[in-house]
Amino acid sequence: MTDRTARRRHRRQLVHSHRAPSVHFLGVPNTTRPNATLAGMCDAALRSYTWRTKYYSWRTNYLGGIVSQSDIAALFTPITVSAALELPNRLVMAPMTRSRAHGGLVDELTAEYYAQRAGAGLIVTEGIQPSVLGQGYMQTPGLHDVEQVAAWRKVTAAVHAAGGRIFAQLMHAGRVGHPVLYPNGELPLGPSPIASGGSLFTPDGMLEHPIPREMTRDDIGDAVREHVDAARNALDAGFDGVELHGANGYLIHQFLADGSNERADEYGGSITNRIRFAVEVVTAVAAAIGPERTGLRISPAVTLNGITESDSAELYPALMRALAPMDLAYVHVMEMGTRHLTRLVRAAWPGLLVVNPHPTDPSTPATPDLAAQALDSGIADMISLGTYWLANPDLPARIRADGPYNTADRTTFYGGDQHGYTDYPTLADTGTR
């Protein structure tokens, strides 16, 4: 165990001691978390979701219905990620696709959006493609050319000027792409020629994801190098670090999952082989920019984008054990109602753990209630929230005040202008507090 890991464990023990008995209830507005896919805009299930019935069911079984005032206070204790990165609180802004990067470029509106949310302990950006073939959705940003790097510098400068910290999430979509996104109409890449079964939302309607081209060893090497180049570009653009997207059915996850990876070489078959690509990407990026600036997001057993796993309980501990010696900045777990797999990850991972605690499924938002409970339980060192940050740029102040919370407008989640992006009011704007 490294000295840094030992200090992290000691800090966890300090944070989770001496709890006060006072009771604190946090209401949940009728909102939905933005789906990671643009197709989620058309999902009728989101529109008809009955919040209160679901909410009280899981609150009784999962949360217990009570969150103490000291649990809330723990969210606002500082934490050290590395010698170069001290966070003032444990609230992470989760990555959320917003599809407002015309031509792959972010702009002043993007800078305003993230700077408004600089009160987060750490901001993790929307998914950024590390290469042309890494793109999975319309109007998503890149970090693979000079113009894109220059555009992101304005964003990081704005966040830092507002006192924030920001990691770039590098997301290679793999098979979750479409030839319409690529200049030469190429097929998307994947570990095996197995389609996701999903569709791409475009102005002309929904287009089914095609069967991807199976990646050769050269393609795999190229993908590793593209992640490294994009990570270096991220630091050049002023980011404090990067988060590698190994979740939600994108390329790294596609290699991990046996439902999308049927390769017969050293990258498929056994768990040792299926984690190989993830380990190679993480290792190469950590070597290039430093492990203390490198995080990884995972989503055990989450079935987004057609992903299926038959061995999640064995797969993710094996991945954590392989990564443990690297002393990364953190691992970020997207949790789905049950804590069983998160506990297995926690047991195998000695470093900082960020948990994104969804009560049932990805369309059901992680809440401040769950954030406080997860931190109090000791399962997490930091907590990420998505929809609540999207709709509440001053989220820390609202959590301290027990709301009220803005209701997220899901019709503006993807694409558009400032509406539903930078125009959500703060408590100060409304004079509520």
Q: How far apart are CA 374 and CA 370, in angstroms?
A: 6
Query: Which residues does 278 contact at the CB level (< 8 Å), separation at least 6?
Result: 246, 252, 255, 256, 296, 319
DSSP, collapsed to helix, strand or coil, labels residue 119 as coil
Question: Which tokens in the block code for residue 12?
Answer: 């966890």
Residue 358 C-alpha from the chain's centroid:
12
3-state secondary structure of 185: coil
Q: Is 298 left (phi over 0), alpha (psi -120 to 50) or beta?
A: beta
Residue 262: which of 273, 278, 246, 247 has the closest Cα?
A: 273
Instruction: Report the alpha-carbon distance of residue 179 to residue 188 in Å, rounded.
Output: 7
The amino acid that residue 138 corresponds to is: M
Tokens representing 58?
């899981």
Distance CA 209, CA 202 (A): 12
Amino acid at 102: H
Tokens standing for 262?
Answer: 């049927």
Q: Is 182 a catalytic residue?
A: no
Element (H, E) at 244: strand 241-245
Which of 250, 267, 316, 414 does the annotation list as catalytic?
250
Tell me which residue of 385, 393, 390 sits closest to 426, measured CA to CA.
Answer: 393
Beta strands in 43-160 (DSSP E): 67-68, 79-82, 85-87, 91-93, 122-128
Task: Give yes or no for a contact between 256 and 174, defined as CB atoms under 8 angstroms apart.
Answer: no
Determine the Cα–Cα distance for residues 77 and 222; give it in Å rounded to an integer: 41
Q: Strand runs (DSSP E) across 33-192, as ranges?
A: 67-68, 79-82, 85-87, 91-93, 122-128, 166-170, 189-190
Instruction: Give me the active site residues, please.
Output: 250
